[in-house]
C-alpha cells in the first residue's frame, strides 16, 4: 500500500466486539484545515470511529494514518506505548463528559501534560495556561477547581487543556451532549473560533444546525457504515439515501 497523501487517512477500518461488528470497512480522508462532522444515531459507530483515530478504541482491522505516520502500528508493547503517546500528543480530544481532572485547578488541568511531556518551564506553562484559558473565555476562572464550574465552563477548560498541547488535529466526541441547553452555545462559540483559525477538526455531534454551519463535510453513519457523505447543504437539504432522509426527518421533528 502506498504512503498516504492525505492528512488523516482511515483505510478499511473494521472493529468488532465479539460477534458484534460496530465498524464495517470504513474509509475516510480528511485534509489539513478541514472540518468534518459525523452524525448518526447512538450505536451507529460514530464515537468508536472517532476514538479509533487516537487508538483509544483500537481497530480490529484497517489502518489509521495521521500526517504520514500510521497511528495503529503493530509494535511490541514497549515501542507501541512510546509511539502512541507521541501520536496522542498531536491529537487533542474533547469528551462528552469533560473528564477534567477534579483534583487540579483549571490552570493545572491545562499545564499538567505540557509540563510533563514537553519539558516547558513553569513560567512558560503559566503563560500557556493564561493564553489557552483566555481563548476559551475562562481566564478569570483560572484557579477554580472543576467542581466550582458549570458544565459549559468545564467543557471550555477541557478544550483549552487539549489545545495546550498544540495539536494538529482536534477530535470532539459529542462535546455538548451532556450540557444543559442554555450552556451549549458557549461551547459552540469556542469551536467556531477554532474553525476560523483553520484548526483541523473531526466532530461527532447530534446538533444538526451546528454541523451544518461549521463543517466543510458531513458524514452520516448507520450500523457501522458511512451511509452518505457530502457538503452540509447537500447532505442536509438533498440526501440521496433513504436511511439519511429517515434519520434527518426524525431528528428535525425531534428538534421542533
Residue choice 54, 111, 155, 188 for contact with another protein (CB under 8 A): 54
Q: Closest CB to another protein among 95 and 247? A: 95
Stretch of 31-39, 86-94, 134-142, 206-214 contacting another protein, by CB under 8 A: 86-94
99: contact with another protein by CB under 8 A: yes
Q: Give which of 183, 136, 140, 170 is closest to 54, Cα–Cα.
A: 170
Residue choice 31, 42, 68, 117 for contact with another protein (CB under 8 A): 117
Place of cell 481497530: 59
39-57 exposure pattern, b = at least 16 Cβ within 10 A, e = fewer: bbeeebbbbbbbbbbbbbb
Phi then psi dihedrals of residue 191, to 5 deg: -65, -35
Q: Closest CB to another protein among 87 and 201? A: 87
- Residues between 132 and 191 with contacts to another protein, criterion CB under 8 A: 145, 147-148, 158, 161-162, 165
Stretch of 68-76, 82-90, 175-183, 186-194 contacting another protein, by CB under 8 A: 82-90
Residue choice 5, 12, 17, 81 for contact with another protein (CB under 8 A): 81
Dihedral over alpha carbons 158, 159, 163, 167 (to 10 degrees): 100
80: contact with another protein by CB under 8 A: no
Report the largest interatomic distance among the alpha carbons of the chain, rounded to a whole angstrom.
Answer: 56
For the bound state, the minimum distance from the C-beta of residue 111 to another protein, rounded and expressed in Å, comes to 11
Q: Which helix (H) or strand (E) holds 190?
A: helix 181-196
Residue choice 89, 126, 150, 177 for contact with another protein (CB under 8 A): 89
Size of the site for another protein (CB under 8 A): 31
Place of cell 457504515: 225
Q: How far apart are CA 62 and CA 107, in angstroms?
A: 38
Query: For residues 202 and 48, is the Cβ–Cβ distance under 8 A?
Result: no
For the bound state, the minimum distance from the C-beta of residue 185 to another protein, rounded and expressed in Å, comes to 24
17: contact with another protein by CB under 8 A: no
Q: Closest CB to another protein among 95 and 210? A: 95
Q: How far apart are CA 187 and CA 60, in angstroms?
A: 33
35 beta partners: 201
Q: Closest CB to another protein among 33 and 102? A: 102
Cα 184 to chain centroid distance, Å, stands at: 16
Q: Which helix (H) or strand (E) holds 113?
A: helix 106-117
- Residues between 229 and 248 with contacts to another protein, criterion CB under 8 A: none
Q: Closest CB to another protein among 82 and 237? A: 82
Binding residues for another protein (CB under 8 A): 54, 56, 81, 85-89, 91-93, 95, 97, 99-105, 112-113, 116-117, 145, 147-148, 158, 161-162, 165
Amino acid at each position: 500500500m502506498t504512503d498516504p497523501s492525505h492528512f488523516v487517512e482511515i483505510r478499511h477500518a473494521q472493529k468488532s466486539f465479539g460477534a458484534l461488528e460496530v465498524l464495517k470497512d470504513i474509509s475516510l480522508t480528511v485534509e489539513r484545515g478541514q472540518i468534518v462532522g459525523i452524525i448518526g444515531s447512538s450505536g451507529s459507530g460514530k464515537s468508536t470511529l472517532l476514538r479509533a483515530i487516537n487508538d483509544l478504541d483500537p481497530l480490529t482491522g484497517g489502518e489509521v494514518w495521521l500526517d504520514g505516520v500510521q497511528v495503529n502500528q503493530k509494535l511490541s508493547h514497549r515501542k507501541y506505548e512510546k509511539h502512541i503517546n507521541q501520536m496522542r500528543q498531536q491529537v487533542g480530544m474533547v469528551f462528552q463528559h469533560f473528564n477534567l481532572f477534579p483534583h487540579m485547578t483549571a490552570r493545572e488541568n491545562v499545564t499538567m501534560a505540557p509540563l510533563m511531556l514537553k519539558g516547558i518551564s513553569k513560567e512558560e506553562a503559566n503563560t500557556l495556561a493564561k493564553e489557552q484559558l483566555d481563548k476559551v473565555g475562562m481566564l478569570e476562572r483560572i484557579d477554580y477547581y472543576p467542581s466550582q464550574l458549570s458544565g459549559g465552563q468545564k467543557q471550555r477548560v477541557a478544550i483549552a487543556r487539549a489545545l495546550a498541547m498544540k495539536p494538529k488535529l482536534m477530535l470532539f466526541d459529542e462535546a455538548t451532549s451532556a450540557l444543559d441547553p442554555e450552556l451549549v452555545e458557549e461551547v459552540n462559540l469556542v469551536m467556531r473560533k477554532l474553525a476560523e483559525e483553520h484548526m483541523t477538526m473531526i466532530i461527532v455531534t447530534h446538533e444538526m444546525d451546528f454541523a451544518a454551519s461549521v463543517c466543510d463535510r458531513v458524514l452520516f453513519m448507520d450500523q457501522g457504515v458511512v451511509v452518505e457523505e457530502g457538503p452540509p447543504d447537500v447532505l442536509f437539504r438533498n440526501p440521496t439515501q433513504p436511511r439519511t432522509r429517515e434519520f434527518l426527518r426524525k431528528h428535525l421533528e425531534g428538534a421542533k
